Structure 1
Amino acid sequence: MDVHRTIAQRIRDLRDAKGWSLDTLAERSTVSRSNISLIERGRSSPTAVVLDKLATALGVSLASLFEGTEEPASIELSPHSSLRDQPTWTDPASGYVRRNLSPPVWSPIQLVEVEFPPNKQVTYETGNRDAEIYQQIWITEGVMEIAIGDQQWQLQTGDCLAMKLDRPVSYHNTSRRPARYLVALCTLPREWQSKK
């Protein structure tokens, strides 16, 4: 599976579904039109920060950009995800590696495994989103410093942190060893949001 081609197609499909031009997505995401064009043609390897800006503008989670394109309604999507079919992507800026664990069948929950290199940091500056997205991070190995808005936590192996993705978030491995963690994301469908 070519994860860059998957990302390119997914962004193009989401933009087309909204009826947005490249200029509209560029304005809403603060990512340049030329950069979006390169990403959509599979000619650029975007960073995690750029992908987060695009996902926020499109009203989806970052993890959803790694999902395959929509299948015809006649094809039944599998509730099983084998290791060999799970897309893996490496952030070119920080070197962190993310693997989408979730099967292709629709679910409000997505699971992602991350391996974060030592002494590296990624900061997502985006805040409010159209969609309500919640996530929990469970550290399976190592330590991570996570800041959400102006709050900061030092997480050790076994610790878990819950958050709503509505403020800037920073991930920092302050140690000399890689850290691993599991991310569980839940995107509330619009009909659930209106019932709150």
Structure 2
Amino acid sequence: MKKNITILLVGLSLVVVFGIYYYSSKKDSSSKKQDTKVTTEQNTQEKKETEKQIDNYKKEKDEKREKQKIEDERIEKENREAVKKATANGNIPQEYKEALKKAQHYSHYMYRSKKWIYYQLSSTNKDELVNGDGFSKEAAQYAVDNLNVDFKEQAVKKIDGYKNFDLKQIRDFMIDVELFSEEETEYAIKHLKK
């Protein structure tokens, strides 16, 4: 009888131990599911926040581009009026001729955009572009206005060097760094040779 009680107690002990083990593993599993659910919700929230930040960045970038475009058009108009006055008598100032020659070099050998050439010609070493040419803004405007260049084709030639990059990266680079217009960039992307 003592032996049967011992076996019964051992059996009950095993049942209790396995019961505790089973309950704790189920609890751990439930806890893990809860942790996974919380982590998934956090990831979803973080993803939404990141997407919102990206959308805000894109919006700010587009707004900045639009403001810059309006400012560039205003400056271009002022420069054209000044060029018109300076060349009204038919004489083209030497500075204008030199700026045009330099602009031809940038377009022919470097496939640069109109805006890039303008900034390069009119910038000095104190400005953003290193080693700017330092021509007057009017001379730079005269030069880019008198280039016999199809800037869409310039964009096609320039973009060829970036064909291994992601299209979004190419687009941003062509607009923000190479300073091609959106229209010129889209044309170049359509004609990109892969």
**Larger-gyration structure (1/2):** 2
Higher helix share: 2
**Higher relative contact order, chain-length normalized (CA < 8 Å, sep 6+):** 1
Higher strand share: 1
Common topology (TM > 0.5):
no
* TM-score between the two structures when normalised by the length of structure 2: 0.25
